[in-house]
Structure 1
C-alpha cells in the first residue's frame, strides 16, 4: 500500500492517517467529525487537522448536516474518489491473483487502520 501511495502524485501529500480517513469516506456517505475521530482512533483535534488538509487538497469537502445544521459532515470529493480508486487499482495490480476476486478496498476495510499502520501510539 505504501508503494502505491508513494507513486501516485495526487496521493503524495496525503499522510497515512489522511489515507485512513479517505478510505473511511470512500466506504460510505458523509461522516461526522466524531465518527471520523472514533473510527480512526485519532484525537478529535488531530482528525480535524487531517480533514482540513484533505479539504485544502480538494480530496474532501464539508457540508452542514441537513437534519442538524450545527453538525458538520465530511464527504469524499470527486478528486478524492479518483485518488482512492487509482491507489486501490494499483495495489490490486501489484497483488495480482493473491487477492482473488475481491476488490482491494474490501481487503483494506477488513484490516484495522485501513491497512496502513498509524503512529506507534495507535497500534494495538
Structure 2
C-alpha cells in the first residue's frame, strides 16, 4: 500500500506543479481554482456546498468567494426558489479563466501522455474518476 500512497503523493505534487503557475498567472489561488471549477459545472452553488466540496472551513470559503467576486470571476444572486439563500455563479470572466487554464494544462498533459484517444488513457481516466468519486477514507 505504501507504493499507492507514494504514487498519490507524487501525483498531488505533479498536479500542483502543473496548475499553480497557470492559475497564479490568472490571479487565482488553488482554493479559488477549485471553486471556479465547481461553478463551471453549472448552476448556482450555496456557500455550504462550496465549503463542503472544497473541504474548506466556511469562513475561508467565504473569503475565497469574496476574492472571486471582487475579481469579477463569480457573482452572487439570491436563490429564486428560496430568497433567504444566496447562490454563487460563475461569471463570464470566470468561465474564460477556466477555459484558458484547462486548455493549457490539458495540452501540457497531452504532451506528456500522448494521444488522448488511446485505451490506456481511457482506462487511466476511469481509474482516476473511480478513485476521486470514492475518496480514500482512512
Please give the range of the TM-score, normalised by the shorter of the 2 chains: 0.7 to 0.9
**Matched residue, 1:100:** 116
User: Matched residues in 2 for 1:19 and 1:80: separation?
Assistant: 10
User: Matched residues in 1 for 2:23 and 2:60: separation?
Assistant: 24
* Counterpart contact for 1:4–1:90, Cα < 8 Å: no
Q: Which runs of 5+ in 1 are unaligned?
A: 113-123
User: Matched residues in 1 for 2:85 and 2:71: separation?
Assistant: 22
**Matched residue, 1:82:** 96
Q: Which structure has the larger Rg over C-alpha atoms?
A: 2
Q: Which has the higher helix share?
A: 2
- The number of residues matched between the two structures is 108
Distance change (3 Å), C-alpha of 1:8 and 1:63: same
Q: How does 1:1-124 map to 2 (within 5 A)?
A: 1=15, 2-7=17-22, 11=26, 13-96=27-110, 98=113, 100-101=116-117, 110=129
Q: Which runs of 5+ in 2 are unaligned?
A: 1-14, 133-137
User: Matched residues in 1 for 2:25 and 2:79: separation?
Assistant: 28
